[in-house]
Structure formats: C-alpha cells, structure tokens
Chains A and B, each alone.
Chain A
Amino acid sequence: MRFGTSFFNGTLYQKTVMRFWPVWALYFIFWLMVLPMRFLSEAMRRSQWDSNANLTAYLQQQAQDIPSMLRGLLVLSAIMGILCAMAVFSYLYSHRSACMIHALPMRRETIFGSQYLAGLSFFMVPHIIIYVLMLATEVSMNCLNLWSLTLWFLVQSGTCFFFYSFGVFCAMFTGHLLALPIFYGILNWLVLTVFGLLQEVCRIYLYGFAGFGTLMDEAVLWLTPFMKLVMAVDTTYVEDLNQMRLFDAKVVVVYVVVGVLMTVAALLLYRGRHIESAGDVVSVKIVRPIFKYGFALCAGLSGGMMTKAILYLESDMVFMLWMVIWGIVGYFVAEMFLQKSFRVLKAWKGSIAVIAAIVLFSVSIYQDWYGFEQWVPNQEQVESVRMSGLRGAPWDSGSNGDIVRSDVQGIGQALALHDAIVNHNTTGVGHQNDGWMTIIYSMKDGRTIQRSYDGISMYEADLTTEGTIAYAAQAILDDRENVLQLYDMEEVEEGRLVECYINSIWNEETKNTETLYIDGGTQQLWDAVQQDFAEGTLGVRYLFNGSQERQDNTYYADLTFIYEVSSINASTGEDESYQMDWSITLTPQATHTLTALNELGVLNEPYKLLTNAEYNMLDF
C-alpha cells in the first residue's frame, strides 16, 4: 500500500458505491425509462399503424427534442446533487462513524477523494450508460441526432456536477445530516431572498427607490444558481442549423468551473475539519458567528416584512420595532441550533448587537444617510434616460409609451423634472393631479440607475412657474420629439394597415356616441394623421386632463387604426402574425385628418365631432 498523498482508495470507493446503491440505481432507472425505454415503447406503439417513413420522422423529431427536457429536469439535478453529497459524506454526521473512518490509515485527501468520486459516479456512470444505450437505440431506429444527445449528456452532467459540488461544499460546513439539505436549499436562494428583502425595506423607507441597479440584479442572479441555470438551459430550435441550442451554454460552463472551485474549497475545509464537530449544526468555528448573526438579521428582515403584510403596518417606526423583535427571536433560535439547547438566554449579550445592527440599518436608510433620495445625476454623467409614466391626457395611444432621450435637451428635461420631484417643488395651489413616474438613467460608466416615484403631486397653477414639477413635466410633454416617441407611429408603419374606425363619435339622431367603421381610405386617413401630427395639430399632450385647454382643444372621439404585425415562430417556422390597434384623439386643429374624414363621408349627418368641453356640457 502506498502512503504518499493519494486522492483515492479503491476499497473505500467501492464500499461507498455499493453501500448507497439505491441512490444511483433509482437515478439510472429513471433515465432508462425516460430515454431509451420511452423511445423503444413509442417505436413499438406507432409501428402498429404508422408508416416507416412517418415513424422515422417522428423519432427523429423526438431525438432532436431531447435537450428540451433539461430545463424541466433541472430540479432533478439539484435533488440528485444533494442526495449524492448527503450519502457519501453522511459518515461525518455521526460521532461513531466519523471516528471509525478517520481512524483508518488514510489521509484526509484520500478519504475525501474516494468519497467525492463515489458520489460523482452515482450520476456520471448512469449518464454514460444511458448515453451509450441511447446512441445504440437511435442508430438502430435510424433517428440518430448526435448533437442533441451529446448536448443532453453534457448539460445534465454539468448541472449535476455543479449541484453535487455545491452540496459537498455545504456538507463541509455542517455536522448534522438534516442541516445539510436545509443549508443547501437556503444557500441556493439566500442571495436572491436577502436581496429582495433589502429592496423591500429600501422601498418602504426611501422615496423613489426602485432597485439596486441592473449590475446588482445580474450579480444576484449569478449567486442564485438554480435561477440562473434554469434560464440558461432553456432550449430553442435554430432553423438554419437544424439544431436545438441552449439559451446560454456559457452559464453552464461557468457553473462547472465554479463546481471545481467549490470542490477544492471543500477539500481544504475537510482537511481542517474537527471530527468532534459531528452533530453540530455548524461545524466550522469561524462560520458560527456568521451563521448566528446572519440568521438573526434574515429573521429580522423577513419577520418584519411578514408582520407588515399581515398587520398592514403603516408606521415606519413600528415596522422597525418588528424587525428588531424578529431579529432577537432569530438570534436566540440560531443560538439554540448552535448550542443544541433551549437554554440560551445567558447569551443575551449578542442580541444587543443584533438590535444595534437592525436599528442602525433602519435609521441610516430612513434618514437617508447615503443621500439616495436627493441624488440627481449630473448631465455629463448620463448617456441616456428613459421616462415612463409621464403621459398626461388624452387617453389614446400616446398615453402608453415611454420616452427615451440621449440628447442634451432631452436629458436636461428629465434632470429638471427629477430635481423638482426630489425637492418636492410645488406651490400646492390650484387643480391637482397625482402621477407616478419611473426614470431610468443609463450612465456613461455602464451603470443603470432607476428611480420610481408615485404620488407625485402636480398643481395646474405651477405650469407657469419654472422649477416646479408641473412646469418641468409639461415641458417634456410639449417637446414634439417626446410626443413622437409616446405615440410610437413607427410600429404602425412597420406593420400593415388593415382598417380604421372612429369611436365615441356623436350621433345627433340617437343622441349617443357610436363607433363608426370606415370603409376604405385607411391609408388616406393614416397619411392625413401623419401630416397633422407633423404640424403639431394632433397628438398634443396635456398634463392636466381637467384643464380648459385640454377640454376645448380635443374632441371626444378617437381615430383608431388596426394594423397587422408579422411574426414567425422561431421553433416551428409558422406564421404567427397578430393584429394591434393604434388610436389618436382628434382635435379641431387637425385639418388634414378632418378633411379626409369629410371626404370619406364619415362626418356627414347625423354624425358630429364634439369637443370634450361640448360633450361634458351635454345634458343626458
């Protein structure tokens, strides 16, 4: 026997593989049934009525679609990963078994290597056998699709490898078998959950908070492996290549590399592991305070949010108090786990730190110590800006779109409005309109920064006062470049005009409004609308719906165009075109459109266009 630093002992490996045969046997049987046996069964069933050519075509399609099951069965990889880790390192969680294994004449590296490889074999050997069996099945049935089969093999093995390595990594932090799957599950989702909770707390405390930015979102996604992988292993059919492709194969490769790094980290942890930690919830000494305080803070955040939702808490201070209470509860629960005892009150000193941390965190955000609420970027920092929510009246297609500007003037408009909002610049006089708005800045340094404001109070009297919210908002709506984006006429242009109608037109006979379909002349009307739009007589936006200007200068009727957008299904290649509508409120100044409507006989008796003011004057 060699006693140098060996990473493998055949006897230990063999014993582990044989001891846990139900794990790999069940996994193998599952894939046996899902792939080769299902193929054979389908072939036998269909051969009874289908022609050979049809059967082959069907099986070829099935063989091609094999990778499409990767996404749905990712959860199997995750479960298999942790099951294998739990099985092969289960000896660490009982004092007797841990002592027995570590009394054997083997270095830790040898034990780790043998056990790790045994766990790896639990899924890799079934994958290899299934791959070979499937290859033989496809060849024998003349439906071989090597690309799809190999893609399945590589991705299924890759995801299983990552989750298994992740499970092994988690296994090194605990001395308790039941704690292992819990840690594994929690760590898979921890970052996303904590991030979500922090965002919710910030949303409560900070006016305008919309998130930590896309870079952070992306980082959070990467640190939530299941989420990232479930998106990455989605498959699409690429017609040109006649192949199934992963949405993002690089992600799987990255996680495989991470799996390797986690394995190395697990080995290093294992080398330093204290065998006497068997039975402890957290076996690594330096991780114990991290676990304790992390658990307490998470309990504070999640408990506080839960209480807020259940009790409809509105006061920020009461919310903070609940976070503190849950934080203390979490602290003592964590202490119970660590000490394996319910008598943990003597460790009360640590709870003071938890209280201090939660209060400090809450107050710092509530008081905006980081200057978040007042932050408005400098013009030179901004690459472009997107504004949503600022639409005004009338309620036609112009009230749906977003405005994106990357020019100095457009960015300046957004900054002026943002500045007015954060400083609450209003006089509080006159007709009020409550609005919401989201501003997304694309910064020159690559960051994306978003602010969302609701309950923005705008007053009509402020329209003439520079620096107020209403003044800045109306300035944006007066800019024809912005209005053009709101109406997004390009989309209609790209489609095919089908028909048009005028809705809410007044009928003098019935004394009611009606929808009137216009036969022919759709293109003529569209051209007229474009002409009026260009001249600024159509598509005028008003910040205040109730303003006299809006009431006098817009008709009650809208002109709606139906257009068809062509779309080809990437997977099937089938035409899936759909119809959309686009509407614009008519105005007395839209001479070209009104002329066209007259020429088409739309505005003949008994139909008549009424301004909003006229309509509102009617006595029903």
Chain B
Amino acid sequence: MIQVNHVVKSFDGFKALDGLDMHVKGGSIYGLVGPNGAGKSTIIRHITGIYRPDSGSVVVDGVSVYENPQIKSRIAWIPDELYYFVSASTRDMMKFYRGIYPQFDDKRYQALREAFPAVDEKAPIRRLSKGMQKQSAFWLALCCNPDILVLDEPVDGLDPVMRRQVWSLLMNDVSQRGTTVLVSSHNLRELEDVCDHVGILSHGKVLLERSLSELQDNILKMQVVFQETEMPKMPEEMNVLHVTKVGRIHTLIIRGNMEEIKAQIATYNPILMEALPLSLEEIFIYELGGEDYAVRDIVL
C-alpha cells in the first residue's frame, strides 16, 4: 500500500534519508524502529506528504502522496509533538477536521467519547496534560476514518490502561476496516505485541524489513556448553552476531535457519545446547550492533 522508493532527503548538507526503501502492506501494522536520528520522523513526514523528497518517491496505492489531497485525505497522522491552534478545544478541532476530512465520522466522534472519558472536549487542548492531549489526538484521528494511520511515538505519555485502550481501538480498526497502521516507537516490547511487520532504520536507510515472525525465525539465541572450557572456532559461513560467556555457558546470537545452525553446532558435541527466541528489542540491539550502534561498556 505504501511504497517508499529510494528516498533521499538532506538538511543543510546532512543526509537524513539516504536512499530509503520501504514497503508497507495494506491492512498491516508496520513498526518502524531505529536509533535516535535514524530518520524515522523524517520518513513519516514524507509519507504524510509534508516533506518533498530530494529524490525518490513515496507512493500510496501507486500514486504519489506529495501534493495529493485525495491520498492525504485517507491518511491521519499523530505526530510525536502535537500541535493545535491556540485555545482550540477538542470540539473546535473536531469541527475543523470535519470540514477538512471527507470521511470524518460525527457518530464515531460521539461514540468515542466513552473511550476517552477523561478528556474535557470543551477545554483548550493546550491546557490538557500530555497524556490527555494524546488521547484527544487519537480521538480526532480515529474519527477521520483513515485508511492509513501514521503514528509517531503514539502512546508516549499514556497510562497503561489508556495504552491498552488505544491499541485495542487500533486493532479493531485494522480488523474491521482494514486500516493500515504505520507506527514509529522506541517501545519495542509494545510493538512486538501489535506489529506484524517491522522495519529497522539506521543512518537514513532501512536495514531490514520483514514480518515479525520472519524476523524472529531468522535470528536466534543459542546457549551452548562445550566439552572444552573455551568455545571452539565456529565455521566461517555461520553468521555469529554476538557472543557472551557466563561461567561455561556461551550465549551466541546467530543469524540463520534454526535447524541448520543447530546441526552445525551439534558437530562440536556440546554438553548442552538450547535455542531460544529473541525479543524484538534484542533483535534491534544485535542487528544494529553490526551498524556500529551497540551498548558500550563505559567506565565512569
């Protein structure tokens, strides 16, 4: 549904996006993860038609998003830093969006009041707490009945109950209406629960882009105890991303097929060998380790 083709964007000589390619399937929840400054917000602003790429293209259903009201009317965006007109209340903004978005649903607005009972719809949004403002943003965005919902750090500031409430509403839209959700977040544990596809960004490029299950199948954690104290040299073709040792237990992060890796390690006759799945957070950390982005042991 969303296709980002080799997008380049520079700011004062700094390449924020460096030939980024990305593909989001319709009806999926796509998690965009990456370190700070990787270009997540920048690509989101391209997908929402705000920024014009220096080169490359951003298309939705085969049509360019930039300066395309028809496509943009199908997209709702909740930015990481919300903006509302000075002294505008949720109701004021509802009236504004109602006049702008053709699919805006008044009934939904009334119905969603129950989902966000803490939001005073007559109070100026800027006077609300950060969490309340986020709730107001979700309320308004969902009423636009978007085909594509773009969320930048969406649940930041929401309490656990409201997070669950919001995700529940989103999942419901995805299942009922086939809404495509593109979500950028640093909360990987949360993304792991909701996303079916993930793209990892680094230095303005997508490092890898897979379904979550594919991602988890393609990288695994092996805990091994060998006959010898020291770990024998692994074969060249085995893509070992990371190795740690606690006592005699060696923990290896390896990219590849689980069965093949197991068979290869088995040739060393280990005393103990166990394959464990990786969390999204671990995948993120180990994938980016190869990009010179890893947790460093710094002695202060």
Seen from chain A, the residues whose Cβ lies within 8 Å of a Cβ on chain B are 1, 3, 9-12, 14-15, 19, 94-100, 102-108, 110, 274-276
Q: Choose from B50, B52, B85, B96 the contact partner of A99 (Cβ within 8 Å).
A: B50
A-B contact pairs, 21 of them (CB 8 A): A3-B69, A3-B73, A11-B98, A12-B100, A14-B99, A94-B83, A96-B81, A96-B82, A99-B45, A100-B79, A103-B49, A103-B50, A103-B75, A103-B77, A104-B100, A105-B102, A106-B100, A107-B69, A274-B52, A275-B51, A276-B51
Whole-angstrom CA separation of A95 from B45 in the bound complex: 11
A422 to nearest B CB, angstroms? 53
Whether the pair B49, A102 counts as a contact (CB closer than 8 A) is yes
Whole-angstrom CA separation of A127 from B30 in the bound complex: 54
Interface membership of B72, Cβ < 8 A: yes
A303 to nearest B CB, angstroms? 29
**Chain B residues, Cβ within 8 Å of A3:** 69-70, 73
Whole-angstrom CA separation of A274 from B51 in the bound complex: 7
Given A103-B48, A105-B101, A106-B100, A15:B72 Cβ within 8 A? no
- Inter-chain pairs besides A11-B98, A99-B83, 19 sampled, C-beta below 8 Å: A3-B69, A3-B70, A9-B99, A11-B99, A96-B81, A102-B50, A103-B50, A103-B77, A104-B100, A105-B69, A105-B70, A105-B72, A105-B101, A105-B102, A108-B67, A274-B52, A275-B50, A275-B51, A276-B11
**Chain B residues, Cβ within 8 Å of A104:** 72, 100
Interface membership of B263, Cβ < 8 A: no
Interface membership of B271, Cβ < 8 A: no
Whether the pair B85, A15 counts as a contact (CB closer than 8 A) is yes
A15 to nearest B CB, angstroms? 6
Minimal Cβ-Cβ distance residue in A for B9: A276
Whether the pair A11, B83 counts as a contact (CB closer than 8 A) is no
A38 to nearest B CB, angstroms? 34
A295 to nearest B CB, angstroms? 19
Whole-angstrom CA separation of A95 from B86 in the bound complex: 15
Whether the pair A19, B85 counts as a contact (CB closer than 8 A) is yes
Q: Choose from B45, B49, B72, B100 the contact partner of A11 (Cβ within 8 Å).
A: B100
Minimal Cβ-Cβ distance residue in B for A19: B85
**Chain B residues, Cβ within 8 Å of A12:** 99-100
**Chain A residues, Cβ within 8 Å of B71:** 105
Interface of B is mostly: loop
Residue of B77, B81, B83, B96 with most partner-chain A CB within 10 A: B83
**Chain B residues, Cβ within 8 Å of A14:** 99
Whether the pair B100, A105 counts as a contact (CB closer than 8 A) is yes
**Chain A residues, Cβ within 8 Å of B99:** 9-12, 14
Minimal Cβ-Cβ distance residue in B for A110: B69
B50 to nearest A CB, angstroms? 5
Whole-angstrom CA separation of A14 from B262 in the bound complex: 67
Whole-angstrom CA separation of A394 from B99 in the bound complex: 85
Contact mask for chain B residues 39-53; partner A; CB cutoff 8 A; 1 contact, 0 none:
000000100111110
**Chain A residues, Cβ within 8 Å of B70:** 3, 105
Whole-angstrom CA separation of A19 from B85 in the bound complex: 8
Whole-angstrom CA separation of A105 from B99 in the bound complex: 11
Whole-angstrom CA separation of A12 from B96 in the bound complex: 8
Q: Choose from A9, A97, A276 the contact partner of B100 (Cβ within 8 Å).
A: A9
Minimal Cβ-Cβ distance residue in B for A285: B12
Q: Choose from A11, A96, A106 the contact partner of B79 (Cβ within 8 Å).
A: A96
Within 8 A of A (CB), among B245-276: none
Q: Choose from A106, A274, A275 the contact partner of B69 (Cβ within 8 Å).
A: A106
B19 to nearest A CB, angstroms? 19
**Chain B residues, Cβ within 8 Å of A15:** 85, 96
A88 to nearest B CB, angstroms? 13
**Chain A residues, Cβ within 8 Å of B98:** 11
Whole-angstrom CA separation of A319 from B49 in the bound complex: 53
Whole-angstrom CA separation of A3 from B34 in the bound complex: 35
Whether the pair B73, A96 counts as a contact (CB closer than 8 A) is no
**Chain A residues, Cβ within 8 Å of B49:** 102-103
Whole-angstrom CA separation of A206 from B102 in the bound complex: 69
Whole-angstrom CA separation of A186 from B79 in the bound complex: 37
Whether the pair A19, B50 counts as a contact (CB closer than 8 A) is no
**Chain A residues, Cβ within 8 Å of B72:** 103-106
Whole-angstrom CA separation of A110 from B52 in the bound complex: 17
Whole-angstrom CA separation of A110 from B68 in the bound complex: 12
Q: Choose from A1, A97, A107 the contact partner of B83 (Cβ within 8 Å).
A: A97
**Chain A residues, Cβ within 8 Å of B83:** 94, 96-97, 99-100
**Chain A residues, Cβ within 8 Å of B52:** 274
Whole-angstrom CA separation of A1 from B84 in the bound complex: 23
B147 to nearest A CB, angstroms? 12
Whole-angstrom CA separation of A274 from B82 in the bound complex: 20
Minimal Cβ-Cβ distance residue in A for B150: A103
Whether the pair A105, B73 counts as a contact (CB closer than 8 A) is yes
Within 8 A of A (CB), among B58-79: 67, 69-73, 75, 77, 79
Minimal Cβ-Cβ distance residue in B for A280: B12
**Chain A residues, Cβ within 8 Å of B96:** 11, 15
Whole-angstrom CA separation of A15 from B49 in the bound complex: 22
**Chain B residues, Cβ within 8 Å of A274:** 51-52
Contact mask for chain B residues 80-115; partner A; CB cutoff 8 A; 1 contact, 0 none:
011111100000000010111110000000000000
Within 8 A of A (CB), among B161-180: none
B91 to nearest A CB, angstroms? 13
Minimal Cβ-Cβ distance residue in B for A277: B11
**Chain A residues, Cβ within 8 Å of B82:** 96
Within 8 A of A (CB), among B116-166: none
Whole-angstrom CA separation of A11 from B100 in the bound complex: 7
Closest 5 pairs between A and B when the two form their complex, measured CB to CB: A11-B99, A105-B73, A96-B83, A105-B72, A105-B69
A441 to nearest B CB, angstroms? 52
**Chain A residues, Cβ within 8 Å of B77:** 103
B102 to nearest A CB, angstroms? 4
Minimal Cβ-Cβ distance residue in A for B73: A105
Given A3-B73, A10-B99, A105-B72, A99:B67 Cβ within 8 A? no
Minimal Cβ-Cβ distance residue in B for A338: B12
Q: Choose from B11, B67, B79, B102 the contact partner of A1 (Cβ within 8 Å).
A: B102
**Chain A residues, Cβ within 8 Å of B69:** 3, 105-107, 110
Minimal Cβ-Cβ distance residue in A for B74: A105
**Chain B residues, Cβ within 8 Å of A275:** 45, 50-51
**Chain A residues, Cβ within 8 Å of B79:** 96, 99-100
Minimal Cβ-Cβ distance residue in B for A99: B50
Minimal Cβ-Cβ distance residue in A for B48: A103
Whole-angstrom CA separation of A100 from B100 in the bound complex: 13
**Chain B residues, Cβ within 8 Å of A98:** 50
Minimal Cβ-Cβ distance residue in B for A15: B96
Whole-angstrom CA separation of A14 from B84 in the bound complex: 16
B233 to nearest A CB, angstroms? 49
Whole-angstrom CA separation of A352 from B69 in the bound complex: 48
Whole-angstrom CA separation of A108 from B52 in the bound complex: 12
**Chain A residues, Cβ within 8 Å of B84:** 100
**Chain B residues, Cβ within 8 Å of A276:** 11, 51
